[in-house]
Structure 1
Amino acid sequence: MEKSNDLRVIRTKQLIRDALLTLIKEVGLENITVKKLTECAQINRSTFYAHFYDKYDLLESTINDELLSFVEEAAPKSEEELIATHYPKAFYLRAAQYIYQRADFFKIMMGENGIPSFQQQLLQIMKKYMAERLEKFHPQLDKMEIPKEFFISYVAHANIGVISYWLESGMQYSPQYVAEKMSNMTVEGPLSVAGIK
């Protein structure tokens, strides 16, 4: 579908996306129909079809836009950020703050009636980021004590696990605290952070 900067179009698309999230939370994606979406968004069918082909096109567009915003916000802004020795790392803090600010979206997407493919896409973003950083900063990738894929997968899944727990448990910890612990565990290792020698 065509992109538009028209404020009315932007508002209408947001109404439809809000309706999608509401309905995913209430009934799950498989039970959503265009009729339910239009009723929830209080628009007519022709307005829906002017912007999206079907609910799957709407879902894909919603996820892609959100993840693009997430990457743009959280991505490292300089090499200095990557080699800084303090915690939390700035990009972890931006990521945690973004998730905190968009908590409703992330809770719905990763919740009980959520979208498994969303978590997989978020995981792939983290793996890609880890692979790029490892390639850039590890002096001898071929001499790592474990396959680099083990390391990348371990760290990415661990980060997703922390984010999932944070969302599920009502986000009782601040973004600053979560970012600090995630970046600390990534660099120092979970046992060291837990005080186990």
Structure 2
Amino acid sequence: MVATRDTKRMFADELEAMMARMPLSKVRVADLCARLHVERRVFYYHFKDKYDLVAWVFEQDHLAASENAQPYTLEFYTESHRRLWARRDFYRRAFEEDSQNSIYRYLLEFSIQANETALRRHLGVPKLSREMAFEARHFAHGNVGSVVDWLRGDFEATPVQLAVCIFSCIPEVLREAYRTQSEL
């Protein structure tokens, strides 16, 4: 039996190949499975839908970036953006869609949760004040929106330049929260 990670990677690779020729909105799970000669239940054992598969690809790139750099440092942002840029055609197509389960919404929630968690730990509180919750959400919207604009070609920069721009915009309390979290 093929390992779970290998199976997920197999679906991810085939999805990326399909998206080289069509937008994510046109990709059907049935077609993906047919191309891989597997039953649809195999796909649904690992993913709830095609958006979950795209999110898994992003998570793998995110994890790989954090293997090479301390999370949420300038080096991490640079490595993360290099990985996104290396797959920019895939991510561009993924970001074309803005449905309820879209990768944009997933990344936004991912970023908000990461920011809120870091702030709660840093401040030692179970619940953030309205102001701190706003900081977490505001930076997440700016960060994700900027990356999407960049991938779509609306903002021209190298991965390093984008990382510097985003890193310089991190609110001081959030920067401190991530710095102290990375020291743990």
TM-score by length of 2: 0.67
Query: Does structure 1 retain, via aligned residues, the 8 Å contact 2:20–2:89?
Result: no
> 1:36, CA displacement in angstroms?
5.1
Matches within 5 A, 1:9-158: 13=11, 16-22=14-20, 24-25=22-23, 29=25, 31-33=26-28, 37=32, 41=35, 47-49=37-39, 51-53=42-44, 57=48, 59-60=50-51, 62-75=53-66, 78=70, 89-111=74-96, 113=97, 117-138=102-123, 147-158=131-142
CA deviation string 1:49-75 (max 9, x = no partner)? 164259x85614522421321331344
Tell me if structure 1 keeps the 8 A contact 2:112–2:136.
yes
Structure 1 residues 152, 74: CA separation in 2 closer, same or farther (over 3 Å shift)?
A: farther
Using the TM superposition, give the Cα deviation of residue 130 of structure 1 relative to its aligned residue in structure 2, in angstroms.
Answer: 0.9
Q: Cα 1:12–1:151, aligned 2, differ >3 Å: closer, same or farther?
A: closer
Flag structure 2 segments of 5+ consecutive residues without an equivalent: 173-184
Counterpart AA for 1:151: E
Cα deviation, residue 100, structure 1: 1.1
Paired positions, count: 168
Separation in 2, partners of 1:52, 1:143: 38
2:162 corresponds to: 178
Task: Specify the code of the residue in structure 2 equivalent to 1:4.
Answer: A
Percent identity reads 15
Change (3 A) 1:167 1:48: same
Kindly state the Cα deviation for residue 132 of structure 1 after the two structures are TM-superposed.
2.3
Query: 1-side partners of 2:137 and 2:5: how far apart?
Result: 41
Instruction: Name the CA shift for 1:38/1:91 in 2 (closer, same or farther; >3 Å).
Output: closer
For residues 97-129 of structure 1, the C-alpha deviation after alignment (integer angstroms, 9 at most, x for no partner) is: 121122122111112x46552111111111121
Question: In the TM superposition, what is the alpha-carbon distance from 1:6 to its structure 2 partner?
Answer: 10
Q: Provide the rounded CA distance (Å) in 2 between the counterparts of 1:157 and 1:135.
A: 19
State whether residues 16 and 38 of structure 1, in contact with CA within 8 Å, keep that contact through their aligned partners in structure 2: no
Cα 1:131–1:75, aligned 2, differ >3 Å: closer, same or farther?
farther
> What RMSD over aligned residues (CA atoms) do the two structures have, in Å?
3.9
Any conservation in 2 of the 1:123–1:160 contact (CA below 8 Å)?
A: yes
Do the aligned partners of residues 60 and 48 (structure 1) sit closer, same or farther apart at CA in structure 2, a change above 3 Å counting? farther
Distance 1:141 1:182, change over 3 A: farther
1:4 maps onto 2:3 in alignment: yes
Write the deviation string for residues 3-44 of structure 1: whole angstroms up to 9, x where unpaired: 53798x68864563235424642xx52x544675578x4x6x
Structure 1 stretches lacking a partner, 5+ long: 83-87, 189-197
